Amino acid sequence: MPLNHKSLLSLVISLIGLLVSAQDYIIYHKTINIAEEEFFIKNNSERALQLYDSIFNQYDFVFVKDILNAAQIAKSSKKPFRQFLNKGFELGLKIDHLKEYPLLDDYYKWIYKNQQLKKEYDTLRKQYLKKIDFEYLNLTYQLLKTSLTNTKNRANTIIGNKLNELRIVLKS
């Protein structure tokens, strides 16, 4: 089926959008790398935290692992770290995840003891859950499940065929 002008234009616009998004996240990742260098190589926690804070404020979606790194750097440097964790909670980080990080384990325990902090977390968690399109998420899971099943079936067919070929060779 040949592409008409409208279809071609839509395709080009979509590709440009993808390229622009990719460029944005290239900058994101480069900035995260610079922040990590500032802390781990140059021992400059102040500059590292400035970079983290700046890049987190520029993007709607940031990676929770980067937020956790920033929070740990801040806490180990005796700097404010709660704003990083709150950003993480907005993006789906759960309180229970904190117990996996020794530097944040005491904060995990403190949240459960402090009703105000627990209330703040619950509010941020509700905001996060409201953003999720569960119908789309379910569709995505179903498509993934179908794809994995089809891949497994194809792999089993290929393996079965190869085993049959091997049996024939061994019999001859």
What tens digit of pLDDT does each residue of 100-122 get? 999 998 998 898 899 998 999 99
pLDDT of residue 65: 96
pLDDT at 129 over 60: yes
Check: pTM over 0.75? Answer yes or no.
no
User: What's the whole-number mean pLDDT along residues 51-71?
Assistant: 95
Q: How far apart are CA 45 and CA 149, in angstroms?
A: 47
Q: Average pLDDT, whole number, for the chain?
A: 85
Given a cut of 60, whether residue 22 has pLDDT beyond it is no
Higher pLDDT, 76 or 134: 76
